[in-house]
């Protein structure tokens, strides 16, 4: 699949078949995440892979917009480990790049996915920190629901020529 085809095909999928994601596909998602660019190549990410139904249900209560988490068969939590920070302020950008890589790899693998934000919203961070008993140096950044989609969504063309400025604003 061409990169632009995966980009255009990617939509947030919140309804999934009751079919587990194969271990090989989970590994490919994680490999895609860890190939992302990061500030001074700090690679500050860690991941928690969740397939347990009870834990997925608990994740769906992390906040009001996380309900779809219980529809999926897999969640990957994207975490920052402060011990790997070379530049304290750029980890969110690193973890966003890793997250988007997983969303695009999911398209390639025939999976659907939805990114659900955690940090920097304090009560969400506290909920996930408590659920997984995370040490102080670990920051939960987001959680991504994955699974086989029950149906695909249409391409939504979002190109707006008036948002682009050439040479000056």
Ligand X SMILES: Cc1cc2nc3c(=O)[nH]c(=O)nc-3n(C[C@H](O)[C@H](O)[C@H](O)COP(=O)(O)O)c2cc1C
Which residues make up the interface to ligand X (CB under 6 A)? 11-12, 14, 65-66, 68, 114-117
Residue 103 Cβ vs ligand X, minimum distance, rounded to whole Å: 8
Residue 150 Cβ vs ligand X, minimum distance, rounded to whole Å: 15
Residue number, 49 or 117, with CB nearest to ligand X? 117
In which order are the strands placed within the sheet that holds 138-147? Answer: 45-50, 74-81, 138-147, 112-117
Residue number, 12 or 27, with CB nearest to ligand X? 12
**Torsion-angle region of 37 (φ positive above 0: left; ψ -120 to 50: alpha; else: beta):** beta
- Dihedral sign for Cα atoms in the order 160, 162, 38, 132: negative
Residue 114 Cβ vs ligand X, minimum distance, rounded to whole Å: 5
Residue number, 62 or 138, with CB nearest to ligand X? 62
Residue number, 5 or 22, with CB nearest to ligand X? 5
Q: How far apart are CA 49 and CA 42, in angstroms?
A: 22
Residue 115 Cβ vs ligand X, minimum distance, rounded to whole Å: 4
Could you tell me if 67 and 60 are in contact, meaning their C-beta atoms sit under 8 angstroms apart?
yes
Could you tell me if 12 and 107 are in contact, meaning their C-beta atoms sit under 8 angstroms apart?
no
Residue 112 Cβ vs ligand X, minimum distance, rounded to whole Å: 10
Q: How far apart are CA 168 and CA 101, in angstroms?
A: 31
Residue number, 120 or 135, with CB nearest to ligand X? 120
């Amino acid at each position: 699949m061409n990169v632009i085809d995966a980009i255009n095909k990617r939509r947030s999928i919140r309804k999934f078949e009751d079919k587990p994601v194969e271990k090989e596909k989970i590994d490919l998602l994680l490999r895609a995440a860890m190939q992302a660019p990061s500030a001074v190549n700090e690679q500050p990410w860690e991941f928690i892979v969740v397939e347990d139904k009870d834990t997925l249900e608990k994740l769906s209560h992390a906040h009001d917009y996380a309900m779809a988490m219980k529809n999926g068969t897999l969640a990957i939590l994207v975490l920052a480990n402060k011990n790997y920070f070379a530049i304290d302020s750029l980890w969110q950008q690193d973890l966003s790049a890793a997250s988007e890589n997983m969303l695009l790899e999911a398209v390639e693998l025939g999976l659907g996915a939805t990114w659900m934000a955690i940090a920097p919203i304090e009560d969400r961070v506290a909920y996930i920190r408590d659920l997984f008993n995370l040490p102080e140096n670990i920051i939960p950044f987001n959680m991504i629901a994955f699974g086989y989609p029950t149906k695909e969504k249409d391409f939504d063309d979002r190109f707006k020529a008036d948002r682009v400025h050439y040479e000056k604003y």
